[in-house]
Structure 1
Amino acid sequence: MAVKATRPSFSRGADGRTPSNVPEFQQRMEDLSMQTTRNLSLGDYESAQNTFYSIDATRKDQLKFRQDKEQKRQDIEKSNLGKSYSVEKARFEAEWAKKEAEIDLVCQEKMQVLDETHQIGIANLEQEIAAKVKSFRFKASVALLQLEDTERRLGLANEFKQAAEVRARAQRLRKIEEAAYEARRQEIESRPRQQLREAQEAERRFTEQKCHAMKVELKRKRDKAAAVLRQRYRNLELDMTHSFALETVAQAEIGSVKTHNSRSEQSSTFRGSLKLEALTGTKFDVPDVSRMPDIVD
């Protein structure tokens, strides 16, 4: 049966077991071992000692090679986790930018409706004021009418001096009453306008405050969500770093392999690649056939 392609690391090979020695180093050690045996058979103990020590040096070189390879793998995982954060952060920013745009649109519509309502209110008020002003006419007081009547009577009676005095008094009183009328007419126009203006300004402030509160609440939620996102990736990074540390101390599995099936899809040591694949939609991509393990009978 075909072995499922898995992700090798320092502690586990593609078959889920502790990785075997690197072929080229293993071949070199076998050659050195054969050469050591040959030197021993020839009695060349000095050469045998040198080749024997070379085996240990090659074994150390092999370990160093595996460690360097593992370090590169870990660097790639860290880089992939960073890329994953960048991808998710970009999606996060786009999502919240859309929400902010929606809030801005809602507030813009609210202000537009408010402006239209205010314009209608102003137009209705001006019609009411025009109707009131039209019906509000100057009416002379009884005292003014009596003075003007007295003036007329005195004139008819040829009491010209007294008529002139009464006329002067009547004119002064008329000016006072006309000024009072004009002031009242101005009040009929200005007071409703002032009251409506104050009411509309208060309504505008309330709507602006409501929109501001909506934006503040959205920002609060965004900041909270951003903190959760950052913390989630900090946790993933810590978890992955811990898994890296366990790579060099993981025990070899004996008997049936338990980590083979799920390790490549769940292990935190591959967290960067797993996360990036999940975000970019490459998690279920078929692996390159040329890189798959050999078929095991």
Structure 2
Amino acid sequence: MTTQSIELRHTFDEKVYGKRLDLALSEVFEEFSRSRIQDWVKQGYVKVNDEVVTSNKHKMSGFELVEVNAVIKVAGEWKAQAITLNIVHEDDDLLVINKPAGLVVHPGAGNQDGTMVNALLHHVPDLQKLPRAGIIHRLDKETTGLLVVAKTIAAHTSLVEQLQNRAFTREYDALVNRVMVSGSSIDAPIGRHPTKRTAMAVIPDGRRAITHYRVAEKFLDHTHLKLRLETGRTHQIRVHMSHLKFPIIGDPLYSGRYRVPTRITPELKEKLSGFKRQALHASLLGLKHPATDEYVEWRAPMPSDMQALRDELVANREYYSSQDA
């Protein structure tokens, strides 16, 4: 197995007082799972104020310096595959990819090849030397849009630190069921669903999750939202929108039973019934470039299937508006 050393540091403030060590770390180092962090603590990879702590139940006091010196598996044993990538930007330090629907980001159970990692290793073989082939954050298989990939250890370190400090700008387009009156924010913890193994849910002891959203356009029974992530939990936007009773159109896990609107054209009804993935797209990504420290951002328009759905929602609204005139 190929491994890579990883070093993480964070100085906490007073807000962490009384919180368990593993929970505090998972909120800061959100690109790593809570179970992985718990393993690091148990294995003695974590120091609090220069003292090794091996209990995840250790209570934080506030203003501690926490250091993690761990060893993780890297992409050395994954194979390179000639899979086309939509590269929005590339330089010596990073890549920005516009991921299509259906492409899994990272190899895992049932997806050992045909993933974005396999494609990246073909495009830049040296990525096998980086943790997770340089991938900093993920998108669900059926979610489209922008992802950043580090090409060097220095860039990886910089980008991971920015993600930990919530310095990335990540904006999404979503088409949701029901009409939302106005935008707001939701701060609701997310964890594994108590009964559905593949799903997440808002639960009291979950990891803190914050999503900001605003209304971009209203339709007769749906809404186009712009959302920004402050944290990056698994399925965060999908779970939060479902929790608010505005599930994303087509979401197979969180949309629930679809209620057919009373005012709907046959064309829109067909388009909605045929949309088999969540209508969610990562449309804007902003960060400080690891080489120059200057803020840069990239945008990607909604993919054709989402744009066609949005156009049909507009046509449906205009048709019934003309009938009411």
Q: TM-score per shorter chain, which class?
A: under 0.3
* Structure label with greater radius of gyration: 1
Q: TM-score, normalised by structure 1?
A: 0.18
Q: TM-score, normalised by structure 2?
A: 0.17
More strand by share: 2
